[in-house]
Structure 1
């Protein structure tokens, strides 16, 4: 049975949307912005059901020693800044691919990815502002908006054999970073 491109794209992002819908389930424990970041705190928040790849969350946050030199409020801001920087790198990658691809069937999907990353970066910039002003629920929503901005890009590139392997991996990494930003911001919004 043949599926249309739109149907295939929907099926490729449907699991992501289901996982993200769980994001708004509050964590069992309330956290304070002034809570000191410890390995146990990172493990506990990374265990939230919305963080669908706990090992990434823990590894990403514990890799940088700056993580343990701050409180939870500072960690949320640090996560969002790291996500923002990675989004800029991915935007550059997508612009290069859109400009240099020899495959005419990839021009439009790469162009959509450029637009998606521009929208995602705007959402992350807004999340930074909300986190700085301690509006954690709004920061959480903006991080989630960034994920949705990349969903179309990921769906259009999913399953194509002529897309470099690092492209879907970097899109997934960005989604994971945004999900961590969403969950950590949500932890402070309770």
Structure 2
């Protein structure tokens, strides 16, 4: 149990260091919200520090709408898709909490449910800021969302959790991270 607490605190410190690195490292100031999204732009954006490039590229190109948007619209789409995924996972997690008979799993799912609810609320806040083009606030809200779900990710590490649930947690964290970095890119471009 002590190891779990130490591990959780270590991951929190690592995420805080990532935020500091992202905050002080300019990603690129040549982007503007009205830039047309191209394949090249997606690859450039998905290559930014802290993003999982292969995930980001595959996720964005899986939606045919991606190449019809401008950069502001792309951020909106990322946040919208992240929020939808979060809502679906909350529903799934509530079902797991209600159906599992293992008390340890019930506690883990319950904790992750709280983290998903906090994280999805953060994404909802980021959505409002992004639509109003207040990109720094969208960045901060997406960061808080990523931190909330990373708590669940830390909790389930080395636990006998079904792989499909672990994958959803990792995917959601990567989605939150993408929204955070894209908000940062737009904040710098203004």
Normalised TM-score (structure 2): 0.91
Q: Which residue of 2 aligns with 1:189?
A: 187
Q: Which residue of 1 aligns with 2:74?
A: 75
Is the CA contact 1:130–1:139 (under 8 Å) kept in the aligned structure 2? Answer: yes
Normalised TM-score (structure 1): 0.91
Is the CA contact 1:143–1:182 (under 8 Å) kept in the aligned structure 2? Answer: yes
The count of aligned residue pairs is 187
Is the CA contact 2:112–2:152 (under 8 Å) kept in the aligned structure 1? Answer: yes
Cα distance in structure 2, aligned partners of 1:170 and 1:30: 33
Q: Which residue of 1 aligns with 2:169?
A: 171
In the alignment, structure 1 residue 39 sits paired with structure 2 residue 31: no
**Structure 1 SS opposite 2:129:** helix
Q: How far does the alpha carbon of each residue in 1:124-154 deviate from its partner, in whole angstroms, 9 at most, with x for none?
A: 1111110110001111111111111112212
Matched ranges for 1:35-184 at <5 A? 35-51=35-51, 53-161=52-160, 163-184=161-182
CA 21–92 in structure 1, closer or farther in 2 if over 3 Å, else same: farther
CA 12–142 in structure 1, closer or farther in 2 if over 3 Å, else same: closer
Taking only aligned residues, the RMSD between alpha carbons, in angstroms, comes to 1.8
Cα distance in structure 2, aligned partners of 1:37 and 1:120: 27
Cα distance in structure 1, aligned partners of 2:12 and 2:154: 6
Shift of 1:19: 4.0
Is the CA contact 2:135–2:186 (under 8 Å) kept in the aligned structure 1? Answer: yes
Is the CA contact 1:140–1:183 (under 8 Å) kept in the aligned structure 2? Answer: yes
Shift of 1:105: 1.3
Q: How far does the alpha carbon of each residue in 1:57-99 deviate from its partner, in whole angstroms, 9 at most, with x for none?
A: 1111112110011100001001000000000111112111111
Matched ranges for 1:18-37 at <5 A? 18-24=17-23, 25-37=25-37
Shift of 1:186: 0.7
Cα distance in structure 2, aligned partners of 1:16 and 1:94: 24
Cα distance in structure 2, aligned partners of 1:134 and 1:76: 10
> Which stretches in structure 2 are left out of the alignment for 5+ residues?
none
